[in-house]
Amino acid sequence: PYVDTKVILENADKHGYGVPALNINNLEFLHYIIEAGIKMNSPVIIETSQGAMKYAGNGDFRKGAEIFVKMVRTFADEANIPVALHLDHGKSFEYIVAAIKAGYSSVMIDASEHPFEENMKITKEIVKIAHAAGVSVEAELGQLAGIEDEAVAAENVLVDPEEAKIFVEETDVDFLAPAVGTSHGAFKFKGAAKIDYDRIKKVKEYVKRPLVLHGASSVVPEFVEIAEKHGADFGGAKGVPAEILKEAVKCGINKVNTDTDLRIAFVAGLREFLNGNPKEFDPRKYFKLAREYTIKVITDRMEVLGSAGKA
């Protein structure tokens, strides 16, 4: 069924597991995520960035939002796993309102590049509007470095747990994304992979609601190697190892945002297949390996996060 993201995340919070929040831009990735969820009997959170809304609507983001809601609901209504649709990194009021109007389960207001008071004020406004429409809200505190779709944050600014306490009390936001050392994309961490577990625990103690880890892709070496064997150049790619994700879930993370891992698995399969099948040009066939690898990276993640078997 199609559910509110809050339903999925409150259950994850209660039972101490993580749920993958998986970014899509098109029908294929949605297919693969639903297949993986059904195979593993796992709840799934589908999420789209503002750029994905624009892309799906061929420039018209309101149309894109409607297309995504209709596609996701069609799968969700007949799947026996909970499925939610979330707007990831909502920064513009128009996009957030469009997602709410179209029927998204939840929206993120990402005002994290603003000063604390400003972030709190903006988030409070969005919570009021979203809650009036029965939609749950995610906000971000602190800054992740790396590319955030349309904005590039320079440095990591880790969340201040005391600020998180005030922020959640003031805004009544449903889930919080604390910056704890990860960053978006395939090139995370300057040195060894590490995130600030104590900071996650402190925030959890204060806010007592589901937490979100952004920049959580593992950048799985197996798929990086396949992609590079077939012409990709991902030199220096590094992600969050599974062990660190497991510990982060133990510390209180419940929504685990994963975009890069799906992209790398897909493009590895696509490159391998096209290199090995020069005569193939049927789009129902040449995504075969891309589909296989993307489903694999998702089912593995559901095992690591503990959402497998929890639908």
Ligand X SMILES: O=C(COP(=O)(O)O)NO
Residue numbers at the binding site for ligand X (CB under 6 A): 23, 88-89, 184-185, 214-217, 257-261
Segment 96-155, which members bind Ca ion (CB under 5 A)? 110, 112, 140
Nearer CB in complex with ligand X: 236/278: 236
Nearer CB in complex with ligand X: 142/215: 215
5 touches 48 (CB < 8 A) = no
Select the binding partner of residue 123 from Zn ion, Ca ion, Na ion, none (C-beta < 5 to 8 A, by kind): none
Spot the catalytic one: 13, 88, 259, 261: 88
Stretch that binds Zn ion, among 91-99, 201-209, 211-219, 264-272 (CB under 5 A): 211-219
According to DSSP, residue 202 is labeled H
Give the span between the Cα atoms of 194 and 75, in whole angstroms.
37
- C-alpha distances in Å from residue 76, one per residue of 25, 56, 204: 17, 19, 30
Select the binding partner of residue 112 from Zn ion, Ca ion, ligand X, none (C-beta < 5 to 8 A, by kind): Ca ion
Least distance between Na ion and beta carbon 116 (Å): 19
Select the binding partner of residue 310 from ligand X, Ca ion, Na ion, none (C-beta < 5 to 8 A, by kind): none
Burial class (CB in 10 A: 0-12, 13-18, 19+), 283: exposed
Least distance between Ca ion and beta carbon 175 (Å): 14
Burial 111-142 (b: 16+ CB within 10 A, else e): bbbeeeeebbebbbebbebbeeeebbbbbbbb
Q: Which amino acid appears at position 286 of this protein?
A: Y
Nearer CB in complex with ligand X: 140/160: 140
Query: According to the binding rule CB under 5 A, does residue 255 interact with Zn ion?
Result: no
Helix (H) or strand (E) holding 153: strand 151-153
Residue 60 falls in the annotated catalytic set? no
Nearer CB in complex with ligand X: 34/237: 237
Least distance between Zn ion and beta carbon 110 (Å): 8
According to DSSP, residue 35 is labeled H
Helix (H) or strand (E) holding 97: helix 93-102
The residues binding Ca ion (CB under 5 A) are 110, 112, 140
Q: Which residues are catalytic?
A: 88
The residues binding Zn ion (CB under 5 A) are 214, 257
